[in-house]
Amino acid sequence: MRVAILGGTGDLGYGLAVRLAHAGVEVAIGSRDATRAAEAADRVREAADGTVSGAANAEAALGAEVVVVAVPFAAQAATLASIVDALDGQIVVDATVPLATAVGGKPTRTIGVWAGSAAQQAQEVVGDRARVVSALHTVSAASLGDLSHELDEDVLLCGDRKADKEAVAELIELVPGLRCVDVGRLELSRIVEQLTPLLISINIRHKAHAGIKITGLAAR
């Protein structure tokens, strides 16, 4: 399985690339700048010793079964628009969060997204060329990027097709210590995306890299 990570030069993209590469997944780091993508791929290989390449976003997406969008929200729509021709039925995993930092505000606040959520905006941009699943909003980039840190937390998934969420869960659960929980349709992402500023506020108060777990579910 090959996964493209657009915004793989950022903290979340890097952390996810390290974990997936370490789990044996082939990773293509995407960036606007192919040189920066190649440099990021070098860094990931140093940390995780897997099959990792770097390329411009559209090239990274081409031939990937899953395309993860881990760019800042301000760049999300433009990034997706720039790769839409490379999409042909893939699953797009949107991990972006409409933090108020996109407009110079605080990371403990969000801005309203006309489509309802960042994930719904992503679906609007890619149209019928790909199906969006929203994920990875509550996992600390720092914890992901540090392989010596033992993960033990949940990843909340929103999407309109159960099979897509199952495929994303299968991929993400290759990372030891991450459990995926299907929380509902893509429109629910407007709630999950709010968890990032909540956890940022908790991190500031408690000097932590907080994550979340859903209690009360039957063990699988």
Please give the residue ranges that form the binding site for its own copies (CB under 8 A). 108, 140, 143, 152-153, 156, 181-184, 188, 191-192, 194-195, 197-199, 201-202, 204-218
Distance CA 20, CA 90 (A): 18
State in angstroms the smallest separation of the CB of 182 from its own copies: 6
Q: 138 and 212 in contact (C-beta within 8 Å)?
A: yes
Of the pair 34, 102, the CB lying nearest its own copies is at 102
Hey, what are 86's tokens? Answer: 């490379």
Of the pair 62, 155, the CB lying nearest its own copies is at 155
- Which runs of consecutive H residues, i.e. helices, occur in 62-193? 73-83, 118-126, 141-145, 162-172, 189-192
State in angstroms the smallest separation of the CB of 175 from its own copies: 15
Of the pair 123, 196, the CB lying nearest its own copies is at 196
User: What SS3 state is found at 70?
Assistant: coil
Distance CA 207, CA 199 (A): 11
Distance CA 134, CA 219 (A): 23
State in angstroms the smallest separation of the CB of 37 from its own copies: 30
State in angstroms the smallest separation of the CB of 15 from its own copies: 14
Of the pair 53, 96, the CB lying nearest its own copies is at 96
State in angstroms the smallest separation of the CB of 173 from its own copies: 16
Of the pair 89, 207, the CB lying nearest its own copies is at 207
> What's the gap between Cα 167 and its chain centre?
14
